[in-house]
Chains A and B, each alone.
Chain A
Amino acid sequence: MIRVEGLSKTFRGGFQALVDVDLEIRRGEIFALLGPNGAGKTTLISVICGLVNPSAGRVTVDGYDNLREYRKARALIGLVPQELTSEAFTTVWDTVSFSRGLFGKPKDPAHIERVLRSLTLWEKRDNRLLQLSGGMKRRVLIAKALAHEPQVLFLDEPTAGVDVALRREMWEVVRQLRDQGVTIILTTHYIEEAEEMADRIGVIRRGEIVLVENKHALMRKLGNKELTLHLHEPLDAVPTALTGHGLALTDEGHALVYSYNAASQEESSSISGLLADLEAVGLRVKDLHTRQSSLEDIFVSLVQERA
């Protein structure tokens, strides 16, 4: 649906925000672009949507070059920006209808009504935008992006700074759209969000796409967890009865660390085996905690892998 080839962007002033990006988005999927702040997610989206001029490379949307055939390419795209923006004095209905007309589509009140209802904005249709809460405003931006019936929807950090309830609601809306056949690209720096929503995940760091992978494969790769057992009495060595579990002794013998993959059934179930063996050996555990690799760890390990 979208093909990005050799895309680079160097801003005036010399900062290179995108480095030779290649990416293909498939029709009908939810694609999550995952990366820390400043990685270049917004820049990449902006180039595809025609808001930022590329320095090199090209983008096609459903086969249309986004610069040479910009009318056809852009007509297919809906964009929900990262920052909340709004013309404070217009009403919800007017601003959403405006978006439809701006994209060259004839008036269709029935469609606008459907969009507003699906985003639970129907009751608010006559409200001015300045009367709405932040969450409502974000929904208005989604409604505007959907007003012209796009085939591709870009959501730039749709749930940043949004409360949990609204986040769930957003996810629900995104799923419904996907079910209607809309291709969705969302950016996020929350790994949980990518995990929850996406079919495929692309990881971007310092302007480079580090990997693109099917979610399940990635989650398996990234699902490493550590269980740390804090002991009452320090040990000199891992007891022989426990060597089969691949434990590591740390904190000068005060802690045992067990690494496992939470995404794997078999490995997680082995925890109970470990706990039973601990009991048998008679080790007294003072405290225990688990830690999931953070996004930062994942980036670091990905980058090291590539180096």
Chain B
Amino acid sequence: MNLQSVKTLYLAEMARSLRTLLQSVISPVISTSLYFVVFGAAIGTRISEVDGVSYGAFIVPGLIMLMLLTQSVSNASFGIFFPRFSGSVYEILSAPMSYVEVVIGYVGAAASKSMLLGLIVLLTARLFVPYSIEHPLMMLVFLVLTAVTFSLLGFIIGIWADGFEKLQLVPLLVITPLTFLGGTFYSIDMLPPFWQTVTLANPVVYLVSGFRWSFYGISDVSPLVSLLMILLFLSVALAVLSWIFKSGYRLKP
């Protein structure tokens, strides 16, 4: 493992994010507060409790997931798309680094940043509602696995995209709707039976459910199923990436 190269790439990517530090930190704080005002205060007065947890506390894990998914995808996709777009990717591709090392640098940085933002959301939520974390270790496991998996997805999108439109299309048309429909703001028990079944096809359901379980011990699907699903997504992302590198798709003619 060429640690020096990986470290350099990772730190440069982190530095790129930190150049816009203020905006990176302020926007999740503001959006989280807005969600609490709108969902917590407005809806929370009607739905007082879900499975014995106050509605405000109930949506905290979902909000963190929302932040984690969107940020992982957008950071990682931009991270690799931009050098491709500007042409400076030649340097990465001609460096004495393996593909695995390149991915660790980019995806590691994207995942780190989104986890950091996830934690900021967690802290911001504290201003609005008290919550507890029943399984802190599992909470971290879900956090890391989700951030890494979706950063890999973002990295793949950043290689696939051949323009800014495509780069924004996937987060906008896929990630955001799936997150909103994935039980972020409700328990899927609240849906009619037909929609409960349909919802199970949404991968985000498993992420949110498992993550919420690590907070309150309540879940829509078993936490073990959630964990297995995340590992499945991770394997799929890794398989796609390894195909990309083997075939040279969009990187090496």
Q: Contact residues of A with B, CB < 8 Å?
A: 11-12, 49-53, 70-75, 77, 79, 81, 83-89, 94, 98-99, 101-106, 144
Is B96 touching A103 in the complex (CB atoms < 8 A)?
yes
Chain B nearest CB, measured from A69 CB (Å) = 10
Is B91 touching A144 in the complex (CB atoms < 8 A)?
yes
Is A104 touching B19 in the complex (CB atoms < 8 A)?
no
Complex interface bits, B13-24 against A, C-beta within 8 A gives 1, otherwise 0: 001100100000
Chain B nearest CB, measured from A92 CB (Å) = 14
Q: In whole angstroms, how far apart are the Cα atoms of A88 and B85 in the complex?
A: 12
Is B2 touching A86 in the complex (CB atoms < 8 A)?
no
Chain B nearest CB, measured from A87 CB (Å) = 6
Q: Which residues of A contact B5 (CB under 8 A)?
A: 101-104
Is A104 touching B83 in the complex (CB atoms < 8 A)?
no
Q: A73-B96, A79-B90, A101-B7 are in contact. List 4 more A-B contacts (CB 8 A).
A: A74-B94, A85-B86, A102-B8, A104-B97
Q: Which residues of A contact B96 (CB under 8 A)?
A: 70-75, 103-104
**Residues of B within 8 Å of A, CB-based: how many?**
27
Complex interface bits, B83-117 against A, C-beta within 8 A gives 1, otherwise 0: 10011101111111110000000000000000000
Q: In whole angstroms, how far apart are the Cα atoms of A52 and B2 in the complex?
A: 22
Is B93 touching A102 in the complex (CB atoms < 8 A)?
no
Q: In whole angstroms, how far apart are the Cα atoms of A71 and B97 in the complex?
A: 7
Q: Which of A52, A72, A102, A104 has the most CB of B within 10 A?
A: A102
Complex interface bits, B103-135 against A, C-beta within 8 A gives 1, otherwise 0: 000000000000000000000000000000000
Q: Which of B2, B8, B92, B96 has the most CB of A within 10 A?
A: B96
Chain A nearest CB, measured from B216 CB (Å) = 43
Q: In whole angstroms, how far apart are the Cα atoms of A57 and B8 in the complex?
A: 33
Is B252 touching A51 in the complex (CB atoms < 8 A)?
yes
Q: Which residues of B contact A71 (CB under 8 A)?
A: 2, 96-98
When C-beta atoms are compared, the residue in chain B nearest to A154 turns out to be B94
Is B253 touching A98 in the complex (CB atoms < 8 A)?
no
Given contacts A53-B248, A98-B12, contact A11 B94 (CB under 8 A): no
